[in-house]
Structure 1
Amino acid sequence: MKQLQDQLGTFHTFETSPKRIISLVPSQTELLYDLGLEENIIAITKFCVHPYHLKSTKEIIGGTKNVKFDKIKALQPDIIIANKEENTLEIVEELRKICPVWVTDIVTIEDNLKMIHDFGQLFNKRTEAQKISDKINFAYADFVSFMKDKPFQRAAYFIWANPYMVAGNNTFINEMLKLNKFENIYENREERYPEIIIQKMRIQGDPDYVFLSSEPFPFNDEHAFELGRFTHHAKTVFVDGEMFSWYGSRILKAFDYFKLLQSKIQ
Protein backbone atom coordinates (compact mmCIF):
# COMPACT_ATOMS: atom_id res chain seq x y z
CA MET A 1 0.00 0.00 0.00
CA LYS A 2 1.40 3.40 -0.96
CA GLN A 3 -0.15 6.84 -0.57
CA LEU A 4 1.24 9.60 -2.77
CA GLN A 5 0.27 13.22 -3.45
CA ASP A 6 0.18 14.72 -6.95
CA GLN A 7 1.12 18.32 -7.80
CA LEU A 8 -2.42 19.59 -7.25
CA GLY A 9 -2.31 18.23 -3.70
CA THR A 10 -4.64 15.28 -4.40
CA PHE A 11 -3.80 12.13 -2.42
CA HIS A 12 -3.86 8.78 -4.21
CA THR A 13 -3.69 5.37 -2.58
CA PHE A 14 -2.45 2.33 -4.50
CA GLU A 15 -2.23 -1.30 -3.40
CA THR A 16 0.59 -1.82 -5.93
CA SER A 17 2.32 0.33 -8.53
CA PRO A 18 -0.10 1.14 -11.39
CA LYS A 19 0.64 -1.03 -14.42
CA ARG A 20 -1.75 0.14 -17.16
CA ILE A 21 -0.97 3.79 -17.90
CA ILE A 22 -2.73 6.27 -20.17
CA SER A 23 -0.86 9.52 -20.82
CA LEU A 24 -2.68 12.66 -21.93
CA VAL A 25 0.44 14.84 -22.17
CA PRO A 26 3.08 14.56 -24.94
CA SER A 27 6.11 15.54 -22.83
CA GLN A 28 5.03 13.22 -20.02
CA THR A 29 4.58 10.34 -22.47
CA GLU A 30 8.22 10.84 -23.48
CA LEU A 31 9.27 10.86 -19.81
CA LEU A 32 7.36 7.65 -19.07
CA TYR A 33 9.15 6.02 -22.00
CA ASP A 34 12.56 7.26 -20.79
CA LEU A 35 11.79 5.82 -17.34
CA GLY A 36 11.47 2.39 -18.98
CA LEU A 37 7.67 2.19 -18.90
CA GLU A 38 6.96 1.61 -22.61
CA GLU A 39 5.29 -1.75 -21.93
CA ASN A 40 3.01 -0.15 -19.34
CA ILE A 41 1.77 2.68 -21.58
CA ILE A 42 -1.49 1.46 -23.12
CA ALA A 43 -2.73 4.68 -24.76
CA ILE A 44 -1.59 8.19 -25.68
CA THR A 45 -2.90 11.31 -27.46
CA LYS A 46 -2.47 12.08 -31.15
CA PHE A 47 0.02 14.80 -30.13
CA CYS A 48 2.36 12.36 -28.35
CA VAL A 49 5.03 12.32 -31.06
CA HIS A 50 8.13 11.30 -29.07
CA PRO A 51 9.23 8.58 -29.41
CA TYR A 52 7.58 8.44 -32.80
CA HIS A 53 6.96 4.69 -32.93
CA LEU A 54 4.47 4.85 -30.03
CA LYS A 55 1.87 6.28 -32.43
CA SER A 56 1.77 2.93 -34.23
CA THR A 57 2.06 0.67 -31.18
CA LYS A 58 -0.32 2.35 -28.71
CA GLU A 59 -4.02 3.21 -28.76
CA ILE A 60 -4.79 6.85 -29.63
CA ILE A 61 -7.51 8.34 -27.42
CA GLY A 62 -7.96 11.76 -29.05
CA GLY A 63 -6.23 15.04 -28.26
CA THR A 64 -5.21 16.72 -25.02
CA LYS A 65 -8.41 18.82 -24.92
CA ASN A 66 -10.76 16.30 -26.54
CA VAL A 67 -10.45 12.72 -25.30
CA LYS A 68 -12.58 9.69 -26.12
CA PHE A 69 -14.02 8.69 -22.75
CA ASP A 70 -15.63 5.44 -23.93
CA LYS A 71 -12.38 4.27 -25.49
CA ILE A 72 -10.45 5.10 -22.32
CA LYS A 73 -12.95 3.25 -20.14
CA ALA A 74 -12.79 0.17 -22.36
CA LEU A 75 -8.99 0.07 -21.98
CA GLN A 76 -9.36 -0.37 -18.19
CA PRO A 77 -6.40 1.79 -17.13
CA ASP A 78 -4.93 1.71 -13.62
CA ILE A 79 -3.96 5.39 -13.84
CA ILE A 80 -4.28 8.36 -16.19
CA ILE A 81 -1.50 10.97 -16.29
CA ALA A 82 -2.78 14.51 -16.94
CA ASN A 83 -1.56 18.09 -16.56
CA LYS A 84 -3.24 21.20 -15.16
CA GLU A 85 -2.44 23.31 -18.24
CA GLU A 86 -2.80 20.70 -20.99
CA ASN A 87 -6.05 19.09 -19.85
CA THR A 88 -9.23 20.81 -18.66
CA LEU A 89 -10.75 20.37 -15.21
CA GLU A 90 -13.90 19.00 -16.85
CA ILE A 91 -11.91 16.26 -18.60
CA VAL A 92 -10.04 15.35 -15.41
CA GLU A 93 -13.24 15.16 -13.34
CA GLU A 94 -14.94 12.93 -15.93
CA LEU A 95 -11.90 10.66 -16.11
CA ARG A 96 -11.83 10.29 -12.33
CA LYS A 97 -15.02 8.24 -12.69
CA ILE A 98 -12.92 5.66 -14.56
CA CYS A 99 -9.72 5.46 -12.47
CA PRO A 100 -7.25 7.66 -10.49
CA VAL A 101 -6.04 10.70 -12.46
CA TRP A 102 -2.58 11.95 -11.52
CA VAL A 103 -2.32 15.67 -12.37
CA THR A 104 1.00 17.47 -12.72
CA ASP A 105 1.53 21.24 -12.55
CA ILE A 106 4.82 22.38 -14.07
CA VAL A 107 6.05 25.97 -14.15
CA THR A 108 9.65 25.75 -12.91
CA ILE A 109 12.58 23.36 -13.30
CA GLU A 110 12.02 22.44 -9.64
CA ASP A 111 8.42 21.45 -10.48
CA ASN A 112 9.78 19.31 -13.29
CA LEU A 113 12.25 17.54 -11.01
CA LYS A 114 9.43 16.93 -8.51
CA MET A 115 7.33 15.30 -11.25
CA ILE A 116 10.21 13.02 -12.22
CA HIS A 117 10.73 12.06 -8.55
CA ASP A 118 6.99 11.42 -8.16
CA PHE A 119 6.89 9.16 -11.21
CA GLY A 120 9.86 7.25 -9.81
CA GLN A 121 7.92 6.64 -6.59
CA LEU A 122 4.61 5.97 -8.31
CA PHE A 123 5.85 3.44 -10.86
CA ASN A 124 8.67 1.92 -8.83
CA LYS A 125 11.32 3.46 -11.09
CA ARG A 126 13.29 5.35 -8.45
CA THR A 127 16.74 4.58 -9.83
CA GLU A 128 15.79 5.58 -13.37
CA ALA A 129 14.15 8.78 -12.11
CA GLN A 130 17.23 9.69 -10.10
CA LYS A 131 19.49 9.19 -13.11
CA ILE A 132 17.38 11.54 -15.24
CA SER A 133 17.22 14.13 -12.45
CA ASP A 134 21.01 13.98 -11.95
CA LYS A 135 21.56 14.56 -15.67
CA ILE A 136 19.16 17.52 -15.64
CA ASN A 137 20.83 19.08 -12.60
CA PHE A 138 24.27 18.71 -14.20
CA ALA A 139 23.12 20.17 -17.56
CA TYR A 140 21.25 22.98 -15.79
CA ALA A 141 24.34 24.00 -13.77
CA ASP A 142 26.44 23.84 -16.93
CA PHE A 143 24.02 26.08 -18.82
CA VAL A 144 23.78 28.63 -15.99
CA SER A 145 27.59 28.83 -16.10
CA PHE A 146 27.47 29.19 -19.90
CA MET A 147 25.05 32.14 -19.57
CA LYS A 148 26.89 33.81 -16.68
CA ASP A 149 28.41 36.76 -18.54
CA LYS A 150 25.70 37.25 -21.14
CA PRO A 151 23.55 40.40 -20.86
CA PHE A 152 19.78 40.41 -20.34
CA GLN A 153 17.73 41.25 -23.43
CA ARG A 154 14.02 41.86 -23.99
CA ALA A 155 11.87 39.33 -25.84
CA ALA A 156 8.32 38.45 -26.84
CA TYR A 157 7.44 34.78 -27.37
CA PHE A 158 4.51 34.23 -29.75
CA ILE A 159 2.46 31.02 -29.63
CA TRP A 160 -0.53 31.95 -31.83
CA ALA A 161 -1.73 34.24 -34.62
CA ASN A 162 -5.25 35.45 -35.50
CA PRO A 163 -5.45 36.58 -32.75
CA TYR A 164 -1.84 37.05 -31.71
CA MET A 165 -1.08 35.40 -28.37
CA VAL A 166 2.13 35.26 -26.36
CA ALA A 167 3.56 33.38 -23.39
CA GLY A 168 3.07 35.38 -20.20
CA ASN A 169 3.86 34.85 -16.53
CA ASN A 170 3.61 31.56 -14.58
CA THR A 171 4.45 29.46 -17.62
CA PHE A 172 7.26 27.01 -18.26
CA ILE A 173 8.07 28.98 -21.42
CA ASN A 174 8.62 32.12 -19.34
CA GLU A 175 10.98 30.19 -17.05
CA MET A 176 12.98 29.02 -20.08
CA LEU A 177 13.15 32.59 -21.37
CA LYS A 178 14.51 33.78 -18.01
CA LEU A 179 17.03 30.95 -18.00
CA ASN A 180 18.25 32.28 -21.36
CA LYS A 181 18.41 35.80 -19.91
CA PHE A 182 15.45 37.12 -21.87
CA GLU A 183 13.15 39.56 -20.09
CA ASN A 184 9.65 38.70 -21.25
CA ILE A 185 7.95 42.01 -22.09
CA TYR A 186 4.57 40.39 -21.32
CA GLU A 187 5.56 38.90 -17.97
CA ASN A 188 3.49 41.46 -16.07
CA ARG A 189 0.20 40.43 -17.70
CA GLU A 190 -2.31 38.59 -15.51
CA GLU A 191 -3.14 35.98 -18.14
CA ARG A 192 -0.70 33.14 -18.69
CA TYR A 193 -1.16 33.32 -22.47
CA PRO A 194 -2.51 36.80 -23.16
CA GLU A 195 -3.96 37.96 -26.44
CA ILE A 196 -2.04 41.08 -27.44
CA ILE A 197 -2.24 44.03 -29.83
CA ILE A 198 0.94 43.88 -31.91
CA GLN A 199 0.73 47.60 -32.78
CA LYS A 200 1.47 48.31 -29.08
CA MET A 201 4.65 46.21 -28.87
CA ARG A 202 6.92 49.23 -28.73
CA ILE A 203 4.97 50.73 -25.84
CA GLN A 204 4.78 47.36 -24.09
CA GLY A 205 8.55 46.93 -23.98
CA ASP A 206 9.97 47.14 -27.52
CA PRO A 207 11.66 43.71 -27.60
CA ASP A 208 15.15 42.96 -28.89
CA TYR A 209 13.88 39.57 -30.08
CA VAL A 210 10.54 38.30 -31.32
CA PHE A 211 10.36 34.50 -31.05
CA LEU A 212 7.90 32.57 -33.21
CA SER A 213 7.29 29.11 -31.79
CA SER A 214 7.03 26.04 -34.02
CA GLU A 215 4.02 24.91 -32.00
CA PRO A 216 1.08 25.07 -31.56
CA PHE A 217 0.74 27.54 -34.48
CA PRO A 218 2.57 27.24 -37.85
CA PHE A 219 4.13 30.70 -38.15
CA ASN A 220 5.63 31.71 -41.50
CA ASP A 221 7.67 34.53 -43.04
CA GLU A 222 4.58 36.71 -43.50
CA HIS A 223 3.95 36.67 -39.73
CA ALA A 224 7.60 37.49 -39.13
CA PHE A 225 7.42 40.46 -41.51
CA GLU A 226 4.19 41.77 -39.99
CA LEU A 227 5.46 41.56 -36.41
CA GLY A 228 8.79 43.14 -37.35
CA ARG A 229 6.97 46.29 -38.49
CA PHE A 230 5.86 47.06 -34.94
CA THR A 231 9.23 47.07 -33.18
CA HIS A 232 12.16 49.45 -33.53
CA HIS A 233 14.92 46.94 -34.03
CA ALA A 234 13.80 43.43 -32.99
CA LYS A 235 15.22 40.34 -34.66
CA THR A 236 12.51 37.81 -35.48
CA VAL A 237 13.62 34.23 -34.80
CA PHE A 238 11.77 30.97 -35.48
CA VAL A 239 12.33 28.68 -32.49
CA ASP A 240 11.61 25.05 -31.62
CA GLY A 241 8.54 25.19 -29.39
CA GLU A 242 9.22 21.76 -27.89
CA MET A 243 12.49 23.04 -26.42
CA PHE A 244 10.76 25.94 -24.68
CA SER A 245 7.51 24.28 -23.61
CA TRP A 246 8.15 20.55 -23.11
CA TYR A 247 9.21 19.51 -19.63
CA GLY A 248 10.09 15.99 -18.44
CA SER A 249 13.24 14.49 -19.95
CA ARG A 250 13.01 16.69 -23.09
CA ILE A 251 14.71 19.49 -21.16
CA LEU A 252 18.01 17.59 -21.46
CA LYS A 253 17.90 18.23 -25.21
CA ALA A 254 16.74 21.81 -24.59
CA PHE A 255 19.95 22.91 -22.86
CA ASP A 256 22.03 21.97 -25.93
CA TYR A 257 19.47 23.63 -28.19
CA PHE A 258 19.63 26.84 -26.11
CA LYS A 259 23.41 26.97 -26.51
CA LEU A 260 23.01 26.77 -30.29
CA LEU A 261 20.29 29.42 -30.18
CA GLN A 262 22.50 31.76 -28.15
CA SER A 263 25.39 31.36 -30.59
CA LYS A 264 23.01 31.97 -33.52
CA ILE A 265 21.46 35.20 -32.26
CA GLN A 266 24.44 36.92 -30.67
Structure 2
Amino acid sequence: MEGACAPRVRRRGAGAASRRGNDPVEASLRQPVFDPIRPWHERLQAAGGASLGHLNALADAAGLRTESGRPVRFVPPGAADAYYEVRVFESGCVETRPESLHDLFNALAWLAFPRTKARINAMHAERIPHERGRRGRLRDLLTLFDEGGAIVACADAELLAMLRGFRWKALFWGHRRRVLRSMRVSVLGHAVLEKALDPWPGITCKAIFVAPGADADAQAAAWLAQRSTQATPRELAPVPIFGYPGWLPGSERPEFYDDTRYFRRAYGNAG
Protein backbone atom coordinates (compact mmCIF):
# COMPACT_ATOMS: atom_id res chain seq x y z
CA MET A 1 0.00 0.00 0.00
CA GLU A 2 2.86 2.37 0.73
CA GLY A 3 4.06 2.06 -2.86
CA ALA A 4 0.64 2.96 -4.22
CA CYS A 5 0.59 6.05 -2.05
CA ALA A 6 4.11 7.30 -2.75
CA PRO A 7 4.45 11.04 -3.49
CA ARG A 8 4.70 11.69 -7.20
CA VAL A 9 7.34 14.36 -7.86
CA ARG A 10 7.25 17.56 -5.91
CA ARG A 11 5.51 19.09 -2.94
CA ARG A 12 2.97 21.85 -3.35
CA GLY A 13 3.67 24.96 -1.31
CA ALA A 14 1.33 25.95 1.50
CA GLY A 15 -0.19 29.43 1.68
CA ALA A 16 0.70 31.87 4.42
CA ALA A 17 -2.54 31.17 6.26
CA SER A 18 -1.71 27.48 6.23
CA ARG A 19 1.66 27.98 7.90
CA ARG A 20 0.21 29.16 11.19
CA GLY A 21 0.94 27.09 14.27
CA ASN A 22 -1.56 24.94 16.12
CA ASP A 23 -2.27 27.42 18.93
CA PRO A 24 -5.12 29.18 17.08
CA VAL A 25 -6.58 25.78 16.25
CA GLU A 26 -6.55 24.72 19.88
CA ALA A 27 -8.31 27.88 21.00
CA SER A 28 -10.81 28.08 18.16
CA LEU A 29 -11.93 24.47 18.17
CA ARG A 30 -13.86 25.11 21.36
CA GLN A 31 -16.39 27.02 19.23
CA PRO A 32 -19.59 25.18 18.19
CA VAL A 33 -18.88 25.43 14.46
CA PHE A 34 -16.16 22.82 15.06
CA ASP A 35 -18.38 20.38 17.00
CA PRO A 36 -18.28 17.54 14.41
CA ILE A 37 -14.49 17.47 14.06
CA ARG A 38 -13.53 18.36 17.64
CA PRO A 39 -13.51 14.77 19.00
CA TRP A 40 -11.17 13.72 16.21
CA HIS A 41 -8.87 16.68 16.74
CA GLU A 42 -8.75 15.86 20.46
CA ARG A 43 -7.75 12.27 19.67
CA LEU A 44 -5.12 13.58 17.28
CA GLN A 45 -3.67 15.86 19.94
CA ALA A 46 -3.72 13.06 22.51
CA ALA A 47 -1.73 10.91 20.08
CA GLY A 48 0.95 13.59 19.78
CA GLY A 49 -0.24 16.08 17.16
CA ALA A 50 -1.16 16.47 13.51
CA SER A 51 1.36 14.22 11.78
CA LEU A 52 0.54 11.96 8.86
CA GLY A 53 1.35 8.96 11.03
CA HIS A 54 -1.12 10.00 13.71
CA LEU A 55 -3.81 10.81 11.13
CA ASN A 56 -3.32 7.40 9.54
CA ALA A 57 -3.54 5.67 12.91
CA LEU A 58 -6.93 7.33 13.44
CA ALA A 59 -8.01 6.40 9.91
CA ASP A 60 -7.01 2.78 10.50
CA ALA A 61 -8.84 2.64 13.82
CA ALA A 62 -11.97 4.10 12.23
CA GLY A 63 -11.83 1.71 9.27
CA LEU A 64 -11.83 4.62 6.84
CA ARG A 65 -12.28 3.48 3.23
CA THR A 66 -13.11 4.85 -0.18
CA GLU A 67 -16.14 3.45 -2.00
CA SER A 68 -13.71 1.39 -4.08
CA GLY A 69 -12.78 -0.41 -0.86
CA ARG A 70 -9.32 1.10 -0.47
CA PRO A 71 -8.16 2.05 3.03
CA VAL A 72 -7.79 5.81 3.24
CA ARG A 73 -4.19 6.92 3.77
CA PHE A 74 -3.02 10.50 4.26
CA VAL A 75 0.19 10.94 2.28
CA PRO A 76 2.61 13.73 1.27
CA PRO A 77 1.52 15.52 -1.92
CA GLY A 78 3.10 15.14 -5.31
CA ALA A 79 2.47 16.90 -8.61
CA ALA A 80 -1.05 18.25 -8.98
CA ASP A 81 -3.16 17.05 -11.89
CA ALA A 82 -6.78 16.85 -13.00
CA TYR A 83 -7.10 13.23 -11.90
CA TYR A 84 -6.59 13.77 -8.16
CA GLU A 85 -10.03 12.38 -7.26
CA VAL A 86 -9.52 9.35 -9.51
CA ARG A 87 -6.22 8.61 -7.78
CA VAL A 88 -7.88 8.90 -4.36
CA PHE A 89 -10.63 6.52 -5.48
CA GLU A 90 -8.23 3.96 -6.94
CA SER A 91 -5.51 4.08 -4.28
CA GLY A 92 -7.09 5.53 -1.13
CA CYS A 93 -4.25 8.05 -0.95
CA VAL A 94 -5.37 11.52 0.15
CA GLU A 95 -2.57 14.02 -0.39
CA THR A 96 -2.06 16.01 2.80
CA ARG A 97 0.48 18.74 3.54
CA PRO A 98 1.43 18.27 7.21
CA GLU A 99 1.90 22.03 7.72
CA SER A 100 -1.40 23.00 6.07
CA LEU A 101 -4.46 23.81 8.15
CA HIS A 102 -6.60 23.47 5.01
CA ASP A 103 -5.40 19.90 4.54
CA LEU A 104 -5.70 19.13 8.25
CA PHE A 105 -9.36 20.13 8.18
CA ASN A 106 -9.86 17.98 5.08
CA ALA A 107 -8.42 14.99 6.94
CA LEU A 108 -10.60 15.71 9.99
CA ALA A 109 -13.64 15.94 7.70
CA TRP A 110 -12.81 12.49 6.32
CA LEU A 111 -12.77 11.19 9.89
CA ALA A 112 -15.96 12.96 10.97
CA PHE A 113 -17.97 12.42 7.76
CA PRO A 114 -16.51 9.26 6.18
CA ARG A 115 -19.53 8.26 4.10
CA THR A 116 -20.10 11.73 2.71
CA LYS A 117 -16.44 12.25 1.83
CA ALA A 118 -16.22 8.83 0.19
CA ARG A 119 -19.40 9.54 -1.82
CA ILE A 120 -18.08 12.92 -2.98
CA ASN A 121 -14.85 11.26 -4.10
CA ALA A 122 -16.62 8.40 -5.89
CA MET A 123 -18.91 10.78 -7.79
CA HIS A 124 -15.95 12.92 -8.87
CA ALA A 125 -14.05 9.84 -10.01
CA GLU A 126 -17.02 8.55 -11.99
CA ARG A 127 -17.60 11.83 -13.83
CA ILE A 128 -14.03 12.92 -14.60
CA PRO A 129 -13.48 10.52 -17.55
CA HIS A 130 -16.60 11.92 -19.25
CA GLU A 131 -15.71 15.60 -18.99
CA ARG A 132 -12.78 16.06 -21.40
CA GLY A 133 -10.96 18.51 -19.17
CA ARG A 134 -13.88 20.75 -18.25
CA ARG A 135 -15.64 20.27 -14.92
CA GLY A 136 -19.40 19.81 -15.23
CA ARG A 137 -22.14 21.26 -13.04
CA LEU A 138 -22.53 18.14 -10.92
CA ARG A 139 -18.85 18.30 -10.03
CA ASP A 140 -19.26 22.02 -9.30
CA LEU A 141 -21.90 21.02 -6.75
CA LEU A 142 -19.62 18.36 -5.28
CA THR A 143 -16.70 20.77 -5.00
CA LEU A 144 -18.76 23.49 -3.36
CA PHE A 145 -20.17 21.02 -0.85
CA ASP A 146 -16.77 19.48 -0.14
CA GLU A 147 -15.12 22.86 0.44
CA GLY A 148 -18.02 24.78 1.97
CA GLY A 149 -20.78 22.36 2.83
CA ALA A 150 -23.04 22.10 5.84
CA ILE A 151 -25.74 19.65 6.86
CA VAL A 152 -28.86 21.22 8.37
CA ALA A 153 -30.93 18.81 10.46
CA CYS A 154 -34.40 20.22 11.08
CA ALA A 155 -38.00 19.02 10.95
CA ASP A 156 -39.60 22.41 11.63
CA ALA A 157 -41.14 23.41 8.30
CA GLU A 158 -41.56 27.05 9.31
CA LEU A 159 -37.89 27.43 10.21
CA LEU A 160 -36.83 25.77 6.98
CA ALA A 161 -39.09 28.10 5.00
CA MET A 162 -37.42 31.11 6.64
CA LEU A 163 -33.99 29.72 5.80
CA ARG A 164 -34.90 28.99 2.19
CA GLY A 165 -36.49 32.44 1.95
CA PHE A 166 -33.37 34.25 3.24
CA ARG A 167 -35.37 35.62 6.19
CA TRP A 168 -32.31 35.61 8.41
CA LYS A 169 -33.41 38.02 11.12
CA ALA A 170 -36.78 36.34 11.50
CA LEU A 171 -35.03 32.97 11.69
CA PHE A 172 -31.99 33.61 13.85
CA TRP A 173 -33.38 36.42 16.00
CA GLY A 174 -37.16 36.21 15.99
CA HIS A 175 -37.19 32.43 16.44
CA ARG A 176 -33.78 31.88 18.01
CA ARG A 177 -35.09 29.64 20.80
CA ARG A 178 -36.77 27.38 18.26
CA VAL A 179 -33.61 27.39 16.18
CA LEU A 180 -31.52 26.33 19.16
CA ARG A 181 -34.05 23.64 20.02
CA SER A 182 -34.94 22.35 16.57
CA MET A 183 -32.19 23.14 14.04
CA ARG A 184 -28.71 21.66 14.09
CA VAL A 185 -26.02 22.78 11.67
CA SER A 186 -23.01 20.51 11.07
CA VAL A 187 -20.20 22.02 9.00
CA LEU A 188 -18.13 19.60 6.93
CA GLY A 189 -16.61 21.96 4.35
CA HIS A 190 -12.91 22.06 5.12
CA ALA A 191 -12.34 25.48 3.52
CA VAL A 192 -15.08 26.96 5.69
CA LEU A 193 -13.62 25.28 8.77
CA GLU A 194 -10.28 26.92 8.01
CA LYS A 195 -11.96 30.31 7.56
CA ALA A 196 -13.81 29.80 10.83
CA LEU A 197 -10.53 30.09 12.74
CA ASP A 198 -10.99 33.82 12.14
CA PRO A 199 -14.79 34.03 12.00
CA TRP A 200 -16.89 36.85 10.61
CA PRO A 201 -20.59 37.14 9.69
CA GLY A 202 -20.03 36.81 5.95
CA ILE A 203 -18.83 33.20 6.01
CA THR A 204 -21.46 31.25 4.10
CA CYS A 205 -21.97 27.52 3.71
CA LYS A 206 -23.76 25.62 0.98
CA ALA A 207 -26.22 23.43 2.83
CA ILE A 208 -28.41 20.39 2.37
CA PHE A 209 -31.30 19.40 4.62
CA VAL A 210 -31.71 16.11 6.47
CA ALA A 211 -34.04 14.68 9.09
CA PRO A 212 -33.03 15.23 12.72
CA GLY A 213 -32.10 12.36 14.99
CA ALA A 214 -30.62 10.08 12.32
CA ASP A 215 -27.02 9.75 11.14
CA ALA A 216 -26.33 13.06 9.37
CA ASP A 217 -23.29 11.63 7.59
CA ALA A 218 -25.25 8.71 6.15
CA GLN A 219 -28.12 10.99 5.14
CA ALA A 220 -25.79 13.43 3.40
CA ALA A 221 -24.13 10.59 1.48
CA ALA A 222 -27.57 9.31 0.44
CA TRP A 223 -28.63 12.81 -0.66
CA LEU A 224 -25.56 13.07 -2.87
CA ALA A 225 -26.14 9.61 -4.32
CA GLN A 226 -29.59 10.72 -5.47
CA ARG A 227 -28.21 13.62 -7.57
CA SER A 228 -28.42 13.12 -11.30
CA THR A 229 -25.66 14.12 -13.71
CA GLN A 230 -27.76 17.23 -14.42
CA ALA A 231 -27.60 18.44 -10.81
CA THR A 232 -26.26 21.97 -10.27
CA PRO A 233 -24.98 24.01 -7.31
CA ARG A 234 -28.42 25.65 -7.12
CA GLU A 235 -29.56 22.55 -5.23
CA LEU A 236 -27.44 23.74 -2.29
CA ALA A 237 -28.88 26.39 0.03
CA PRO A 238 -26.66 29.32 1.10
CA VAL A 239 -26.55 29.74 4.87
CA PRO A 240 -24.58 32.47 6.72
CA ILE A 241 -23.62 30.06 9.46
CA PHE A 242 -22.34 32.64 11.91
CA GLY A 243 -25.85 33.99 12.17
CA TYR A 244 -26.69 30.86 14.15
CA PRO A 245 -27.47 32.03 17.71
CA GLY A 246 -24.36 32.12 19.87
CA TRP A 247 -21.86 31.23 17.16
CA LEU A 248 -20.37 34.73 16.95
CA PRO A 249 -20.12 37.60 19.46
CA GLY A 250 -22.74 40.18 18.61
CA SER A 251 -25.41 37.69 17.60
CA GLU A 252 -27.16 38.35 20.92
CA ARG A 253 -28.25 41.76 19.57
CA PRO A 254 -31.04 42.17 16.98
CA GLU A 255 -29.12 44.76 14.95
CA PHE A 256 -26.45 42.15 14.23
CA TYR A 257 -28.81 40.74 11.61
CA ASP A 258 -29.51 44.08 9.91
CA ASP A 259 -26.26 44.09 7.91
CA THR A 260 -27.41 43.02 4.47
CA ARG A 261 -23.84 42.64 3.24
CA TYR A 262 -23.86 39.36 5.15
CA PHE A 263 -27.51 38.55 5.76
CA ARG A 264 -28.70 39.10 2.24
CA ARG A 265 -32.31 39.04 1.19
CA ALA A 266 -33.60 36.91 -1.62
CA TYR A 267 -34.56 38.80 -4.73
CA GLY A 268 -38.02 40.24 -4.23
CA ASN A 269 -37.98 39.46 -0.51
CA ALA A 270 -38.63 42.54 1.63
CA GLY A 271 -37.88 40.89 4.95
**Smaller-chain TM-score bracket:** under 0.3
Q: Which has the higher contact order (CA 8 A, sep 6+)?
A: 2
Structure with a larger share of its residues in strand: 1
Structure with a larger share of its residues in helix: 2
TM-score by length of 2: 0.23
TM-score by length of 1: 0.24
